[in-house]
Structure 1
Amino acid sequence: MLQGILKERGEARIKGIAHFIEEHIAQHWEGVLVNNEEKLQKAYKEAGDAAYGTYLNLLFLPVHRQLKEAGITPEPRFPGEFDISREWGNEQETHQQRWMWSTVYGPQEEAIGTIVTIIYHDHTQYRVPQQPEVLALTEVGKEAVVNALSAHSPQFAQALEFTVEYELYLKSLQ
């Protein structure tokens, strides 16, 4: 499947890769939660939200293997760079979403586009309330991706980058 996607041109390539990832997520997101429940609950008790990173690493591991075999490299690895991600959700913090992204490179190290991963999570307990989502963008580079996602989602446009949000939080403690 991935070799066929690489023969596509333009937007069809990144959309094909996104479709491949979406299919994997649809088939495995709940199973990864169930099969690793004890490990993930323990990670949440010890490290809080970092447990969602553990979950995503487990979920994306087979995707990374298959992409590597096809000569496709995400940078950074999926789901993306936490420091530049953005998050928002309900007041109760039981249904948050964090948007992270990775630039995807083909076998010739050419930028194909960007894959955005949306992870839904809960801050009050370890829980993934719904299936993670994937968006495909032809844009690459932080500024272009932020502009595209801001046009796509008013909530994204209003949310702060994690590093900015965390800096403000630390200042509020002083």
Structure 2
Amino acid sequence: MNETKPLKEFLQERKESSIATIAQYIEDHIAENWQSLFENNRDKLMQAYNEAGDRAYGTYLHLLFLSVHKELNKAGLRAEPRLPGDFGISREWGNMEDRQRWMWSTIFSMNEEPLGTLVTIVFHDHTQFRVPRQPEIIALLETHKEDVVEALSFRSVDFKQAREFKIEYEEYVQNQHNKG
């Protein structure tokens, strides 16, 4: 985590707690840590991948955002749901070696005022356990699900055409049931 400055100090120096400033702090954290965290935890992550498959990416993201949550808390901020976001409403697309999943969380102030939404883009591989590129963060002013989906659909045709994970999964289960 941005070892030189805690989030609270980072925000005070910039004299604002905007969603864009918070996103910049988190992007800096990701840039500094995404690869080393993967390498330093390779054995644990590979074990998780061998036991649970793609769920190991959730373990990786938990580790990546653990210190971010601590910094948010110290700064009087809260992410709902926890970063990187709600897997059930996330969307995914791409080829098997270079997939991307977009998830999001709303950031709330100490007074429970929504400041905006942070979207986490996670690049991953479905043929092996690999994070091919650094995760990215998008800051949005929108805070309601429908507004976030509309803003992201405007940004990305792929996002607009992808379905929520829970809908995709329900269709998969139904197709498996129909085959059997």
Which TM-score band applies after superposition, normalised by the shorter structure?
over 0.9
Distance in 1, matches of 2:13 and 2:154, equals 27
Is 2:77 aligned against 1:72? Answer: yes
Of 21, 24, 27, the match for 1:19: 24
In structure 1, distance between residues paired with 2:14 and 2:81: 20
For residues 89 and 70 of structure 1, the distance between their equivalents in structure 2, rounded to whole angstroms, comes to 36
Q: How does 1:76-91 map to 2 (within 5 A)?
A: 76-90=81-95
CA apart distance, 1:8? 2.4
Q: Deviations over 1:102-121 (max 9, x none)?
A: 00001111100000000000
User: Aligned in 2, Cα 1:5/1:154: closer, same or farther, shift over 3 Å?
Assistant: farther
Is 2:12 aligned against 1:4?
yes
2:61 equivalent to 1:56: yes
What is the CA–CA distance in structure 1 between the aligned matches of 2:57 and 2:116, rounded to whole Å?
A: 25
The CA distance in 2 between the partners of 1:153 and 1:50, in whole Å, is 25
Paired residue total: 169
The answer (yes or no) to whether the contact 1:5–1:17 under 8 Å persists in 2 is no
Alpha-carbon separation, structure 2, partners of 1:6 and 1:55: 30
TM-score, normalised to structure 2, is 0.91
Length-normalised TM-score, structure 1: 0.94
Q: 115, 118, 130: which is aligned to 1:112?
A: 115
Identify unmatched segments of 5+ residues in structure 2. 1-8
The share of aligned pairs that are identical, in percent, is 56
By how many angstroms is 1:144 displaced? 0.5
**CA displacement 1:32-88 (0-9 Å, x = unmatched):** 100000000110111111100000000011111111000010000100000000000
8 Å CA contact 2:101–2:123 kept in 1: the answer is yes
Query: How far apart are the structure 1 equivalents of 2:37 and 2:171?
Result: 34
Q: Which amino acid aligns with 2:73?
A: K
Which residue matches 2:6?
A: none
Structure 1 residues 144-167: Cα deviation after superposition (integer angstroms, max 9, x where no partner): 000000000000000000010001
Counterpart of 1:121, as a letter, is H
Pick aligned residue for 1:130 from 113, 130, 133: 133
Structure 2 counterpart SS, 1:98? strand
Given residue 39 of structure 1, which amino acid in structure 2 is its aligned partner? K
Shift of 1:170: 1.0
Preserved contact between residue 118 and residue 132 of structure 1 (Cα < 8 Å): yes
Q: Which amino acid aligns with 2:131?
A: V
Structure 1 unpaired stretches of 5+: none
